[in-house]
Amino acid sequence: MTWVPVPDGSDFPVTNLPFGVFRGPNGRRIGVAIGAHILDLAGVVERGLLDEPTQALRTTTLNDFMASGRPQWTRVRERVSRLLTDESCRGNVEPLLVRQDAVRMCLPFAVADYVDFYSSKDHATNVGQIFRPDAPALLPNWTHLPVGYHGRAGTVVVSGTDIVRPCGQRKAPADEAPTYGPSRRLDIEAEVGFVVGVPTQLGDRVSTVDFADHVFGVVLVNDWSARDIQAWEYVPLGPFLGKSFATSVSPWVVPLEALAGARVAGPVQDPAPLAYLVDDDPWALDLAMEVDWNGTVVSRPPFASMYWTPGQQLAHLTGNGASLRTGDLYASGTVSGPEREQRGSFLELSWGGTEPVTLDGGVTRTFLEDGDTVTLRATAPGLDGTRIGFGALTGKVTAARPPIAS
Ligand code: MN
pLDDT of residue 404: 82
Q: pTM (2 decimals)?
A: 0.98
Same domain, 155 and 285: yes
User: Ligand 1 centre from 249 Cα, in Å?
Assistant: 12
Residues 6+ apart with CB under 8 A from 180: 167, 168, 169, 170
Same domain, 98 and 189: no
pLDDT of residue 236: 93
* Inside any domain, residue 2: no
User: Ligand 1 centre from 118 Cα, in Å?
Assistant: 7
Tell me the average pLDDT of the chain. Answer: 97
131 pLDDT band, cuts 50/70/90, is confident
Domain boundary among 66, 82, 106: 106
User: Ligand 1 centre from 47 Cα, in Å?
Assistant: 42
Give backbone dihedrals phi and psi of 181, rounded to 5 degrees, phi first: 175, -175
Q: Is the dihedral of CA 341, 345, 350, 354 positive or negative?
A: negative
pLDDT of residue 51: 81
Residue 379, beta-bridge partner list = 288, 389
* Inside any domain, residue 150: yes
Q: Which residues surround ligand 1, an ion (CB under 5 A)?
A: 116, 189, 223
173 pLDDT band, cuts 50/70/90, is confident
Q: Does the pLDDT at position 100 exceed 90?
A: yes
pLDDT one-digit tens code per residue, 209-234: 999 999 999 999 999 999 999 999 99
Q: Does the pLDDT at position 291 exceed 80?
A: yes
Q: What is the dihedral of CA 237, 242, 246, 247, to 10 degrees?
A: -60
Domain boundary among 106, 137, 158: 106
pLDDT one-digit tens code per residue, 114-129: 999 999 999 999 999 9
Same domain, 130 and 98: no
pLDDT one-digit tens code per residue, 235-272: 999 999 999 999 999 999 999 999 999 999 988 999 99
Residues 6+ apart with CB under 8 A from 22: 28, 29, 31, 38, 98, 100, 103, 104, 105, 106, 251
Residues 6+ apart with CB under 8 A from 193: 218, 219, 220, 221, 249, 329, 330, 331, 332
What average pLDDT does this structure show over 377-396? 96
Decide if 391 contacts 33 (C-beta within 8 A).
yes
What average pLDDT does this structure show over 140-149? 97
User: Ligand 1 centre from 274 Cα, in Å?
Assistant: 24
Where in the sequence numbering do the catalytic residues fall?
Answer: 123
Peptide bond connecting 25 to the previous residue in cis, omega within 30 degrees of 0 = no
User: Ligand 1 centre from 49 Cα, in Å?
Assistant: 41
Q: Does the pLDDT at position 54 exceed 90?
A: no
Same domain, 72 and 215: no
Domain range for 300 is: 114-398
User: Ligand 1 centre from 8 Cα, in Å?
Assistant: 33
What average pLDDT does this structure show over 325-343? 98
Domain boundary among 106, 134, 159: 106
Encode 33-69: b = buried (16+ Cβ within 10 Å), e = exposed. bbbebbbbbbbbbeeebbeeebebbbeebbbbbbbbe
Same domain, 212 and 119: yes
Decide if 206 contacts 314 (C-beta within 8 A).
yes
User: Ligand 1 centre from 256 Cα, in Å?
Assistant: 22
Q: Is the dihedral of CA 119, 326, 284, 248 positive or negative?
A: negative
Same domain, 241 and 173: yes
**Domains in the chain, number:** 2
Encode 245-277: b = buried (16+ Cβ within 10 Å), e = exposed. bbbbbbbbbbbbbbbebbbeebbebeeebeeeb
Decide if 286 contacts 380 (C-beta within 8 A).
yes
Q: Which amino acid is at 325?
A: R
User: Ligand 1 centre from 243 Cα, in Å?
Assistant: 8
pLDDT of residue 403: 83
User: Ligand 1 centre from 162 Cα, in Å?
Assistant: 19
Same domain, 248 and 157: yes
pLDDT of residue 219: 98
Name which of 29-33, 267-271, 286-290 the model is least confident about. Answer: 267-271
